[in-house]
Amino acid sequence: MSWITITESNVQTKLAGAELTALKSFALASGQTSPLTEIIEQVVDEIRGYVAACARNTLGVAGTIPAKLLSAALAMIRYRLATRLPIKSLLTDDRVKENEAAIRLLEQVAACKFAIEDPVSGDRSGVSVEQVSTPTRIATREKLAGL
């Protein structure tokens, strides 16, 4: 996995075409553009803040997030798009729970309890092994010689 940029096509995987069109165009003032781009930028910025909160993490290129956090980002984007409209049917219990789960995951990232990839090396951050002691070998070459 790597670091990615979220696009409108990513968001389309979580919303029906007609639903996305309505969310992008409904209740816009004259001259106002689709809120989708702004919401994507806000969510990406927020996720990068959670990632940066763990000192072991390194941020990728501006505007990118770890690919393993894409589902969380899409849940948050869908939730925020739906909350800008007065239509309660868009905010199903499943969508509310999915948004809450996304935030809990990001809190785990910030607490360094959920490893993400380094944007350059691809290694998972914060995951290392330290050998504390070397066990005494029972079966050595000398003891097994002649078997």
> What whole-number distance in Å separates Cα of residue 108 and Cα of residue 50?
9
114 burial type by CB count under 10 A (0-12 exposed, 13-18 middle, 19+ buried): buried
The confidence band for 73, taking pLDDT boundaries of 50, 70 and 90, is very high
Range name among 66-70, 126-130, 133-137 with the lowest pLDDT average: 126-130
Whether 84 shows a pLDDT value over 50: the answer reads: yes
Which one is predicted more confidently, 9 or 25?
A: 9
What is the span of the domain harbouring residue 116? Answer: 3-144
> What whole-number distance in Å separates Cα of residue 31 and Cα of residue 34?
10
Cα-Cα-Cα-Cα dihedral sign, residues 92, 97, 98, 103: positive
Beta bridge partners of 4: 65
> What whole-number distance in Å separates Cα of residue 66 and Cα of residue 19?
27
Kindly report the number of other CB atoms within 10 A of residue 118's CB atom: 18
pLDDT digits (tens, 9 = 90+) for 87-133: 676 778 898 999 999 999 999 999 999 999 988 876 655 444 445 56
The domain tally of the chain equals: 1
